[in-house]
C-alpha cells in the first residue's frame, strides 16, 4: 500500500493534490479555461472568501507556467507591473543597435599560374577582385516605465496573467490596471482577475470601454456532498474509515468552505494519532465538540478582536451589564449578539439582531441609532483591513447585515462561546 503523509493529503489554505474536487457538474474549470481560447474578454473569478477561487484558477493556469500577481503584496502601481516584469523575465530597458558599413574593393590581373590566396589555379589574362566590409555599430538604450515595459513584454510573449485578490487594490488602481490591459484583452491575451464580490471591485464594471468585454465566472459556496468528496478521498488514502455521520458533521460546520473542511479533516486525523497512511484500517467513531473550538481559535479570532476594539475612541466607552454577570462595551455587545444568533453565511435582519442584544444585556439597551452607527463602523473596519477578507457588510437603507466570511461566521459560532 502506498503511503501518504497527512500534511500532503489534507492541505487547508494550500493547493491540494490528492483531495482536489473538480465540481465537474458546475463546469467551472471549463469556463475559466475559455480565456485561453481567444475569448477576447476580461475574465473575473468571483465568490465569497475561502470558496476555492485561487485553487480552482491555479488548476487551470498553474503558477509555474503563467504570470501570477498577489494583489495583497502590491502597494503602488509600479509594484504591480514590476511583479509582472519579474515573472516574465523582462526589463525596463530596451536596447536597439544601428550599424554603418563601408566596402573596400581590391582588383588584380593575373599573368600566369601562381599561388593566390583566393584562387586555386589561375591562367593568364584572368581578372579577380576581392572586397572587404568595415563597419561601426551604435547601441541605443531606452528606459521604459514598469507599466509600459510589462505591457510590451506581455504583448510579445502572450503569457496569461492572473491577479489574485484583485479587491485589495484601491478603486483608482483597479481602473488603471484594467485600462492598461484592455487592448491586450482585445488581442486575445488571457487576463483573469480573482476577487470577492464587494463594492471595492466595482472599478472593472465602471470602466466604460471594457463594458461588454467581461466574462464573470461565479464560484458558489460548496454543497455538503461536494465537501464530503474531500473527506472521502483523503481518508481513503490514509486507510481511515470514519463512521456514519462523522464526515457529514464536518461538512455541516464548514459553511460551504473547502478550506474549513480540509482543516477539520486534518485536525480529526491528527487527534487520532494519524500522521500518514495507516498499515491497518483505522476507524473514527465521532467528532468531539472541542475540535471545532480549537480550530476556531486559529481562524476568525484576529478580525473578531479588531472589530471588538472598534475605532480609536477619545474616552473609554460605557460598559453595559450582561446577563451572565460580565460587562462589555457597545462594540463587544453587538458582536456577542451576533454570536448569540449563531449565524452561518447569512443575512441578519436588524430586528433579529436588536432582539439578540436584548437577550444578552441586563440593562442599558442601546438605541437604534447607536447600533446602526456601530454596524457602519464595523463594516468600514472590515473593508479597510488588509489582513482580512471582506467579513461583513451593513446595508443601512435596508437595515440588513451580511456575514460573508466563513471563518468569521465559524468563530462567531464556536470561538466566542468558548471565551465568554
Q: What distance in Å separates the CA atoms of residue 401 and residue 396, rounded to the nearest whole number?
A: 9
What integer is the mean pLDDT of 110-139? 47
pLDDT band at 137 (very low <50, low <70, confident <90, very high): low
pLDDT surpassing 50 at residue 406: yes
φ, ψ dihedrals at 57, nearest 5°: -65, -40
pLDDT at 122 > cutoff 80: no
**How many Å apart are CA 81 and CA 84, to the nearest integer?**
5
Whether pLDDT at 78 is above 60: yes
Cα torsion through 413, 369, 404, 12, rounded to 10: -50
- Grid cell, residue 90, equals 523582462
Return d(Cα 393, Cα 93) in angstroms, integer.
45
Q: What is the pLDDT of residues 193-210, one digit of tens each?
A: 998 876 556 666 666 667
Q: Which of 160, 157, 150 is nearest to 190 (CA)?
A: 160
Return all residues near 211 (Cβ < 8 A) that are at least 6 apart. none
Banded model confidence at residue 231, pLDDT cuts 50, 70, 90: very high
CA distance linking residue 385 with residue 388, whole number of Å: 6
Superfamily of domain 24-90+144-218: P-loop containing nucleotide triphosphate hydrolases (3.40.50.300)
Domain 223-297 fold: Helicase, Ruva Protein; domain 3 (1.10.8)
Residues 6+ apart with CB under 8 A from 282: 238, 239, 240, 241, 272, 274
pLDDT at position 92: 85
Question: Around 90, how many Cα atoms within 13 Å sit in the side-chain half-sphere?
Answer: 27
Residue-range domain boundaries for the chain: 24-90+144-218, 223-297, 310-419
Identical topology for domains 24-90+144-218 and 223-297: no
**44 closest CA partner among 258, 186, 219, 221:** 219
Q: Tell me what pLDDT residue 114 has.
A: 44
**With 70 as the cut, is the pLDDT of residue 120 above it?**
no
Segment 304-311 shows an average pLDDT of 92
Highest-pLDDT range among 296-310, 317-331, 343-357? 317-331
Q: What pLDDT score was predicted for residue 31?
A: 94
Statement: the pTM of the whole predicted model exceeds 0.75: yes
CA 249, 252, 254: angle at the middle one, nearest 5? 110
pLDDT at 314: 76
As a whole-number percent, the residues of the chain with pLDDT over 90 amount to 60
pLDDT band, residue 298 (cuts 50/70/90): confident
pLDDT at 127: 46
What pLDDT score does 191 carry?
A: 95
Q: Which of 24-33, 260-269, 411-420 has the lowest mean pLDDT?
A: 411-420
Q: In the structure, what pLDDT confidence band is assigned to residue 288 with cuts at 50, 70 and 90?
A: very high
On whether the CB atoms of residues 381 and 310 are closer than 8 A, the answer is yes
Distance CA 58, CA 52 (A): 10
Amino acid at each position: 500500500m502506498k503511503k501518504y503523509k497527512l500534511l500532503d493529503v489534507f492541505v487547508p489554505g494550500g493547493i491540494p493534490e490528492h483531495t482536489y474536487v473538480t465540481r465537474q457538474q458546475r463546469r467551472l474549470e471549463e469556463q475559466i479555461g475559455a480565456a485561453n481560447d481567444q475569448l477576447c474578454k476580461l475574465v473575473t473569478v468571483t465568490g465569497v472568501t475561502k470558496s476555492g477561487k485561487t485553487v480552482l484558477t491555479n488548476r487551470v493556469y498553474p503558477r509555474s507556467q503563467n504570470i501570477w500577481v498577489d494583489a495583497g503584496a502590491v502597494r503602488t502601481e509600479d509594484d504591480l507591473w514590476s511583479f509582472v516584469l519579474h515573472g516574465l523575465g523582462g526589463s525596463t530597458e530596451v536596447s536597439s543597435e544601428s550599424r554603418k558599413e563601408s566596402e573596400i574593393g581590391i582588383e588584380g590581373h593575373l599573368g600566369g599560374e601562381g599561388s593566390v590566396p583566393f584562387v586555386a589555379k589561375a591562367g593568364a589574362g584572368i581578372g579577380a577582385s576581392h572586397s572587404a566590409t568595415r563597419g561601426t555599430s551604435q547601441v541605443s538604450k531606452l528606459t521604459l516605465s514598469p507599466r509600459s515595459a510589462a505591457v510590451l513584454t506581455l504583448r510579445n510573449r502572450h503569457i496569461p496573467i492572473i491577479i489574485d485578490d484583485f479587491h485589495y487594490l484601491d478603486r483608482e488602481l483597479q481602473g488603471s490596471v484594467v485600462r492598461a490591459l484592455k487592448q491586450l484583452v482585445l488581442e486575445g491575451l488571457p487576463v483573469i482577475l480573482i476577487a470577492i464580490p464587494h463594492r471595492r471591485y466595482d472599478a472593472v464594471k465602471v470602466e466604460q470601454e471594457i463594458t461588454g468585454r467581461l466574462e464573470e465566472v461565479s464560484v458558489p459556496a460548496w454543497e455538503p456532498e461536494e465537501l464530503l468528496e474531500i473527506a472521502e478521498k483523503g481518508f481513503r488514502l490514509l486507510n481511515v474509515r470514519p463512521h456514519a455521520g462523522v464526515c457529514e458533521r464536518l461538512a455541516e460546520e464548514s459553511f460551504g468552505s473547502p478550506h474549513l473542511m480540509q482543516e477539520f479533516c486534518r485536525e480529526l486525523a491528527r487527534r487520532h494519532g494519524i500522521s500518514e497512511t495507516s498499515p491497518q484500517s483505522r476507524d473514527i467513531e465521532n467528532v468531539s465538540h472541542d475540535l471545532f473550538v480549537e480550530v476556531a481559535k486559529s481562524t476568525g479570532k484576529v478580525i473578531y478582536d479588531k472589530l471588538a476594539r472598534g475605532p480609536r475612541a477619545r474616552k473609554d466607552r460605557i460598559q453595559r451589564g450582561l446577563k451572565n454577570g460580565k460587562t462589555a462595551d457597545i462594540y463587544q455587545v453587538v458582536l456577542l449578539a451576533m454570536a448569540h444568533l449563531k449565524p452561518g453565511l447569512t443575512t441578519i435582519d436588524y430586528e433579529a439582531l436588536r432582539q439578540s442584544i436584548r437577550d444578552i444585556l441586563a440593562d442599558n439597551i442601546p438605541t437604534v441609532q447607536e447600533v446602526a452607527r456601530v454596524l457602519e463602523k464595523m463594516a468600514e473596519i472590515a473593508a479597510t483591513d488588509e489582513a482580512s477578507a471582506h467579513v461583513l457588510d451593513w446595508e443601512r437603507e435596508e437595515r440588513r447585515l451580511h456575514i460573508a466570511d466563513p471563518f468569521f461566521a465559524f468563530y462567531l459560532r464556536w470561538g466566542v462561546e468558548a471565551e465568554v
